[in-house]
A and B are shown apart, each in its own frame.
Chain A
Amino acid sequence: MNKAVIILVMSIFLFASCGNAGSPDPINFGSDLCAHCNMKIMDKRFGAEILTSKGKAYKFDAAECMLDYMKSNNSDNAAYWVIDYNNPETLINAASAYYLISMKIKSPMGEFLSCYKNSDAANESKSSNGGDVFDWKGLKTKFNVGR
């Protein structure tokens, strides 16, 4: 009886962890360190994460830190996530996100870069802050990230 319960519980955990394989590890603001610049991640409007195919999470205090990290660290099949500027602490898929570089938005690592879940949100922010909107591919080109 007891054994059956334990097995059941363990399988639930196993199942649960399988289900989570594709979603990012939440950033613990105020305690996690940026994998690139070593700073404590503090600002809930900014942040990014690389989830490798093996499930290891690299967290960053800003999207520009992740882009800088990507220049020297090539991880295949990794998933990239960024914090939605309009929804603090919420990680969204970097590949489908849109980006605004506006001098009015001060991001943690000095690149004035904010991230949005779609082009409408990015353009809406652009209309009040000015600047230029990029998609993920365009952003990587802008930051000279290979591939």
Chain B
Amino acid sequence: MSALKAGIILAAMCLMLFSESRSAVIRVGMSGKFTDVADAVNSASDGDRIVIEKGIYFVSGLNINKKIILEGEQDAVLDGSFLKEIITVTSDSVIIKNLTLRNSGTSYVSDLAAIRLENVKHCALENNVVENSFFALYLSSSSDCKISGNRIAGNSVSESFSGNGIHLWKCSGVTISDNTVSGMRDGIYLEFSTNGEISGNTSFGNLRYGLHFMFSEGNSYTSNTFRNNGAGVAVMYTKKITMNFNRFEDNWGANSYGLLLKDIDNSLIYGNVFSGNTAGIYAEGTNRVNILNNTFEKNGWALKVLGNCYEDTIRYNRFSNNTFDVSTNTSKNANLFLNNFWDKYKGYDLDNDKKGDVPYRPVSLFSLVVERVPEAVVLTGSFLVELLDAAEKIIPVFTPETLVDNSPLIEERGR
């Protein structure tokens, strides 16, 4: 019996060995069989691995239509000479890794990229460097792909003629993790894309948004850092987005914000840090969104909640050192503010339940004034303004009567 078993195992091993030997390794470079990447790809068959040696290779309009691995050794550079797309992938299960790609073409008419995945499944783009390209990694109508560990650097500092770093169009189930994107239009952009997981990325110094969702429901982004972008993250015309443990930092400038919510429903914003933004969160048409356990510090405005937001819950957040905690453009409030820590709270806690005994009104009269007359912001901190705010706090006349935290926390919760 055991001999039979051993025989089966042996046979299985032979089979594995055999199939392994069928997938060839093709080397490109000075010591390789090929000196041209396109020639190597043409000669390869499914399952082959192409290894590109150190050097600069001219590659433009290369179509990968078979299941291969394209991989670079150190300092293997594919240069597109500003002509066309560098690589277009049209086969499932292609892996491209450890390559440097630079100088894709630019075009008004088509969105040329360094690497495009077109209508494919189970592909992976890993640990590549993309420099000076129009769009960097462009996924169109693709699913279950992995974009991980890539470093994308654009040079579009002031021009608007620039593409996005990682661009998803009609994709589903794509994982985007541990990438660094800078100097592009939007760092990461999802349009009509669902069930994506975006984690551990750093997106900074992009012209428009660090991360941008349009019409893309059911995505999550976790533990990313968005720093110093035109605006941090925009989540627009969508629902069911999970946003946890991200950092939104230093998105500063006129009309800038850490997080823009525009026409979004049923989402969760949990455990994030909003620090040093002109506005931490700017919410318009935002319904049934839970904003929980976040930290808002050193922002111009921590929260700007417009009048068309309903049934949002703002609870257990920490507000400190913001010029304004909350501002709004309406006298009505249809959202719940409860159990937050406000550093401007001056109440007391006689029953020692760690909750203040008098309510806190996070909208100051002065913030309403600034909402109407933005220039008035120069009066911030003046004696008259503080007097007005104090009077309004005692007898609210202008500020939304129901926008109130009835049970503010006395102590900061552990971060």
Contacts and interface: CB of A to CB of B under 8 A. Distances in A.
Given A40-B207, A42-B185, A88-B108, 8 more contacts: A30-B158, A39-B208, A40-B230, A42-B160, A42-B207, A106-B169, A109-B214, A110-B214
B216 to A, nearest CB: 10
Contacts of B214: 109-110
B34 interface: no
A21 interface: no
Contacts of A38: 255, 260, 262, 282, 284
Interface of B: 108, 111, 158-162, 169, 185, 191-192, 207-208, 214-215, 230-231, 234, 236-237, 255, 260, 262, 282, 284
A35 B215 CA distance: 19
Given A39-B234, A40-B208, A45-B108, A29 B215 contact: no
A40 B237 CA distance: 16
30 contacts: A30-B159, A30-B160, A30-B207, A33-B255, A37-B236, A37-B262, A38-B255, A38-B260, A38-B262, A38-B282, A38-B284, A39-B208, A39-B234, A39-B236, A40-B208, A40-B231, A41-B160, A42-B162, A42-B185, A42-B207, A43-B160, A44-B108, A44-B160, A88-B108, A106-B111, A106-B191, A110-B191, A110-B192, A110-B215, A110-B237
Closest 4 CB pairs of A and B: A30-B160, A29-B160, A42-B160, A40-B208
Nearest to B212: A39
Contacts of B162: 42
Nearest to B260: A38
A42 B215 CA distance: 19
Interface residues of A, number: 16
Contacts of B255: 33, 38
Interface string A17-45: 00000000000011001000111111111
Contacts of B158: 30
Contacts of B161: 44
A60 B324 CA distance: 29
A32 to B, nearest CB: 10
A59 B214 CA distance: 20
Nearest to B253: A31
| A29, A33, A38, A45 interface centre (most CB from chain B within 10 Å) | A38
Contacts of B169: 106
A86 to B, nearest CB: 9
Interface string A34-64: 0001111111110000000000000000000
Contacts of A33: 255
A99 B192 CA distance: 23
A75 to B, nearest CB: 20
A67 B192 CA distance: 21
Contacts of A39: 208, 234, 236
A37 B261 CA distance: 10
Given A110-B191, A110-B215, A42 B208 contact: yes
A37 B192 CA distance: 17
Contacts of A106: 111, 169, 191
A45 B108 CA distance: 7
A110 to B, nearest CB: 5
A107 B160 CA distance: 15
A110 B263 CA distance: 15
Contacts of B215: 110
Nearest to B208: A40
B164 to A, nearest CB: 10
A135 B255 CA distance: 35
Contacts of A29: 160
B192 to A, nearest CB: 7
A109 B214 CA distance: 8
A30 B260 CA distance: 17
Contacts of B160: 29-30, 41-44
A7 B282 CA distance: 46
Contacts of B159: 30
A103 to B, nearest CB: 11
Nearest to B159: A30
